[in-house]
Structure 1
């Protein structure tokens, strides 16, 4: 077959292909006319919704709230909070106060070796304490506080006039719709977890749940785990149960730090501090994601970035959204058998500042000495 014949065949195939495309387009146009199909246009579903419209976040924590079901509406969508008011009609303005807020710009890995390296991965932006994001999710930022946003009443009432209501305007080029009557009922700050030692309504000391009418009894934070800790006087294993609380934990601020310190301390029944060096198997350099460690006879201190943990990313120091610390020591028991004692604790701290985590041996000191 010569070149001229090939060229003619290729031209013929091209004509048929063009003809086929033209016929398909003609058929589509004909169907559109016959069946009166609408032209493609932007779509805003009237069925956009949120599974939950009542939000009860804790003040002082960065918390995302709600996730819209956009029902195949054309994106991008624009979200705007409108008509914020209390249940009695008063306007709501406090939650929209603009405050400096940490926003991540890089990926936190837990492998950073200095505070400066961590801080280089986030920046401070001026944002309303409560806002709706481009995704349609709401966020209450950690910059919020009880002083700026009034929490729910201390008497545990939940009256309509105390609730904050707002509507949400959603729009795209296809139109707009409004979802009415979202509610925001914030809890007061609980600056750390576990926080069962705090009354969530008043912020005061929580009563003993076993005897809530007794003002002389309180609830305690307990360690996450401990084992092989023997009492120095009793030679019996220390225990936490319904009858006794031998080891409890306090998470509390202290004065005199640099604004981003974290301390760990251990206290005996008479409130005398125990030298942390007695916990001789503790891996102090791997305990927390902290720097510039200082060891004294009363505490071990680090420079840290807050909140703790910084994110929900699993690292050597945190998993499941909580930081984890483990203290241990060994001693020789009877027949020179080596025994290792462990004391562990899972926790979070949300408010920036100088904090200490104190383990209180309430009934008796732990036994650190060897048996002879």
Structure 2
């Protein structure tokens, strides 16, 4: 039995040596990688938003051999003019260690990322496109304010897909970037013009506009003694996400205004978990607002954390309790799920426009 196994092994070794010798003798080429004729992308019309990191699209290799390289070529407008603005280089943040949401200081967060210089628009080794958050309306001209898509205003480009087995040219991608929307929700301004958005119920009335609307639970009006609402029909409470002056360049402020636009003391929101709401530091409470030192964007990364359960939005939620009939307590809550993409000093303002919230017990 052992002699049979030994003979088989010797035969297999002889075949391998013979094959190797033939390859050298006849100068046979090395086996090439496979590049499918059906490689493609899931989307050829890219509509990123300037001012935030946009990962777009997906590449289908159709079982082609990796590694595969990608190159953007022949970038041009529809009238043949060359495109260059999206290939400008700018400094942008790149993570060097995973963000977890458990970091205890701004310094700990900053130690996990660094600034690198990148083209504003790139294709990654995975075949995904990225428009980096360092892009601005000044560096890249947004799509036309009148929402048209004329060829002369549209950037076209092709992608060269290559491995050692060959290359393919996939033609006529389009990139149509929207102007900066530095925060979400952003229904309060027009995505094409950047001007205030019209009221959805009365779009032709220039005196009216749309607002960010919070969610409201058990919020009773102090005067009306009925539940306050915020929708297309009635806007008892609205939200502003806006810059403020006098911060340190990386702060976030949360406050509420009454119907006379006077700040409501945050102490009234006695059930609010201020220290667990925002991934911020150096918490400051005054009789007008609560403020944090934060790292931008918010959320920093689109992964679920205790500060961003869905991954893509953080939450500003205020709550309070008051005595109810029978000796119990009623808890009232209002808030907004939000994101802010631009570094600076920002405030989230809840404005009670028609009636003040009722804090008094029944």
Which TM-score tier does this pair reach, normalised by the shorter chain?
Answer: over 0.9
Query: For the residues of structure 2 that align with 1:366 and 1:66, how far apart are their CA atoms?
Result: 45
TM-score, normalised to structure 2, is 0.93
Q: Which runs of 4+ in 1 moved over 4 A?
A: 22-29
User: For 1:6-32, what per-residue CA distance to the aligned partner results, in whole angstroms no more than 9, with x for missing partners?
Assistant: xxx74x245322255268769999xxx
Select 2:324's aligned residue among 315, 333, 339.
333
The alpha carbon displacement at 1:239 in A equals 1.7
**Bigger-Rg structure (1/2):** 1
1:361 aligns with 2:358: no
Closer, same or farther: CA 313–41 of 1 in aligned 2, 3 Å? same
Query: How far has the Cα of 1:40 moved from its partner?
Result: 3.0
Partner of 1:144: 135
Alignment of structure 1 residues 1-372 onto 2, 5 Å: 10=2, 12-21=3-12, 40-223=31-214, 225-320=215-310, 321-371=312-362
Secondary structure of 1:274's match? coil
Preserved CA contact (<8 Å) 2:200 2:232:
no
Please, what TM-score do these two structures have when normalized by structure 1? 0.90
Q: Distance in 1 between matches of 2:343 and 2:219?
A: 33
Alpha-carbon distance in 2 for matches of 1:69, 1:341: 49
Distance 1:243 1:27, change over 3 A: same
**For structure 1, which segment, 254-263 or 240-249, has the greater mean C-alpha deviation from structure 2 after superposition?**
240-249
- Say if 1:125 and 1:241 are closer, same or farther in 2 by CA, change over 3 A: closer
SS at structure 1 position matched to 2:332: strand
Say if 1:358 and 1:14 are closer, same or farther in 2 by CA, change over 3 A: same
RMSD across aligned positions (CA)? 2.1
Structure 2: unaligned runs, 5 residues or longer? 21-27
SS in 2 for 1:16: helix
Tell me the secondary structure at the aligned position of residue 134 of structure 2. coil
Give ranges in structure 1 of 5+ residues lacking alignment: 1-8, 30-36
Contact in 2 for aligned 1:275/1:298 (Cα 8 Å): yes
